[in-house]
Structure 1
Amino acid sequence: MSHAPDRAVAVALHDGQVLVIARQKEGRAYCVLPGGGVEPGEPPEVAVLRELAEETGLMGTVSRPLWTIEHHDRRAHYFLVAVEPGPMTLGGPEASTRTTTNDYAPQWLSMDSLDDGSLQPESIRDLVRAVEAEIG
């Protein structure tokens, strides 16, 4: 059985909001945390900052590792990332594959809207809330 490459995922919190990538895909609207595949030989804590910059244009620093979770056939490494809010620009492969039926938009989502914003995977919503409550 082949194992998909690990993912590195940023949990960036600021002023009661979490940084997400709003997705429109084949008629579905949902959000995901910024992140992506870890390249061969790349430490996950380096990959998470690269993916954050590619997907949002924002620079960050890893505050600490949070969780490692198996999602289907893929392991995801979640990191708490400190980000300086600023203008956001979608880059990387996501920018070049945008269409009217497959769109990506970086944005800040209110912690009160995690369910309304359909943050996926659903299993991380309570984890994100717990981190926000802890660092307040």
Structure 2
Amino acid sequence: MAEPVTPTIRTSAKAVVVHDGRVLLQRANWGGEDCYFLPGGGQNPGEPLDATARREVHEETGLRVTVEKLLWVREYIGAHHEHADTEAGTHRIEVIFHCTPEGEPGQLGGHAEDIVQTGLEWVELEKVAALNLLPQALRQPISALATNQAPAGYLGDVA
């Protein structure tokens, strides 16, 4: 009988970087599938979450950003989702901030891109719902930012 898995909780900060009605997304290849992700990543011990968002965006995109406000909190508890057999030990808590670029938004190119990252793209907010953006639960809320209809708060344990 297999030993029960004890999940490790990982906290991270993600950024919805908005400029002129567009959001900055990472193009990626995840599991052989082309997709998009928000820039962001894991929190370091002793690092405030807003600082995590600023650091990660700069590393992955080359942009310096101002964190404007908290948008959403999302959890992902692997044991509750499609790949529970392989992700039972996964428990992520993501804090997602609305950010704006401090410099020239066209000057992109990070120095520590994620291994799956294949590029960066400014995408019109209204078009995000139709993209293969992961996690899927963020597609509608990000698109709703175009009309200021995006609810803020806890999104739940969603994939």
Bin of the TM-score, shorter chain as denominator length: 0.7 to 0.9
Counterpart of 1:89 in structure 2 is: 109
TM-score by length of 1: 0.85
Structure 2 counterpart SS, 1:54:
helix
In the alignment, is residue 129 of structure 1 matched against residue 143 of structure 2? yes
User: Kindly tell me: are residues 130 and 115 of structure 1, through their superposed partners in 2, closer, same or farther at Cα, counting changes over 3 Å?
Assistant: closer
Q: Which has the larger radius of gyration?
A: 2
RMSD: 1.8
TM-score by length of 2: 0.73
Q: Contact 1:35–1:51 at 8 Å: present in 2 too?
A: yes
The answer to which of 17-26 and 85-94 deviates more is 85-94
In the alignment, is residue 78 of structure 1 matched against residue 83 of structure 2? no
> 1:93 Cα shift?
5.2
Q: Contact 2:28–2:119 at 8 Å: present in 1 too?
A: yes
Matches of 1:70 and 1:89 in 2, distance apart?
A: 29
User: Kindly tell me: are residues 93 and 34 of structure 1, through their superposed partners in 2, closer, same or farther at Cα, counting changes over 3 Å?
Assistant: closer
Residue 51 of structure 1, aligned match among 56, 62, 65: 56
Matches of 1:13 and 1:2 in 2, distance apart?
A: 34
Q: Contact 1:67–1:77 at 8 Å: present in 2 too?
A: yes
Counterpart of 1:119 in structure 2 is: 133
> 1:64 Cα shift?
0.6
Query: What is the number of residues matched between the two proteins?
Result: 129
Structure 2 counterpart SS, 1:63:
strand
Q: Please list every run of 5 or more consecutive structure 2 residues that lacks an aligned counterpart in the other structure.
A: 1-5, 78-90, 150-159
* Percent identical: 30
Matches of 1:78 and 1:103 in 2, distance apart?
A: 19
